[in-house]
């Protein structure tokens, strides 16, 4: 993926990786030229399968319906706050979420990626 970005001379702002079944990954990269969507995974379910990287670019003016949503809840008994954040887009289809109860790195990573997208979408 770094090779593809380098060939295009694209500057990466932020990235987000979603782990899928069988080790596959959906990798989103916010870059100066637009929003890249890559899929990385094995060609077959065989253990020695060749892995492939397939991707595409959506220019920022063509990203539609991008929005950041948040919900929070407060438990007065335990005095505990939980926040949930979602980054959603209609084109390309995008639904990412994280909350304050997950891995401590997951929510800041999502918000960094969301910030990069929001700053550059038309």
Three-state DSSP class for residue 30? strand
Backbone angles phi, psi at 88, to 5 degrees: -130, 140
Query: Which letter, b or e, does each residue of 1-33 get, where b requires 16 or more Cβ atoms within 10 Å of its Cβ?
Result: eeeebeeeebeebbbbeeeeeeeeebbbbbbee
Residues 6+ apart with CB under 8 A from 34: 57, 58, 59, 60, 62, 63
In the predicted structure, residue 122 carries a pLDDT above the cut 80: no
Q: Which CATH architecture has domain 2-120?
A: Roll (2.30)
Residues 6+ apart with CB under 8 A from 26: 17, 18, 20, 37, 38, 39
The domain segmentation of the chain, as residue ranges, is 2-120
Tens-digit pLDDT profile for residues 62-99: 999 999 999 999 989 988 889 999 999 999 999 999 99
In the predicted structure, residue 104 carries a pLDDT above the cut 90: no
Model's pTM, two decimal places? Answer: 0.88
Q: Which residue has the higher pLDDT, 1 or 92?
A: 92
Round the average pLDDT of the chain to a whole number and report it.
92
Q: Report whether 104 contacts 74 (CB < 8 A).
A: no
Q: How far apart are CA 62 and CA 37, in angstroms?
A: 14
């Amino acid at each position: 993926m770094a090779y593809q970005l380098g060939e295009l001379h694209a500057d990466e702002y932020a990235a987000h990786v979603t782990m899928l079944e069988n080790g596959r990954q959906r990798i989103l990269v916010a870059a100066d030229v637009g929003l890249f969507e890559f899929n990385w995974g094995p060609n077959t379910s065989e253990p020695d399968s060749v892995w492939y990287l397939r991707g595409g670019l959506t220019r920022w003016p063509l990203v539609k319906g991008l929005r950041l949503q948040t919900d929070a809840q407060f438990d007065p008994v335990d005095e505990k706050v939980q926040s949930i954040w979602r980054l959603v887009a209609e084109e390309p289809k995008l639904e990412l979420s994280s909350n304050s109860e997950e891995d401590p790195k997951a929510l800041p990573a999502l918000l960094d990626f969301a910030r990069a997208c929001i700053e550059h979408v038309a």
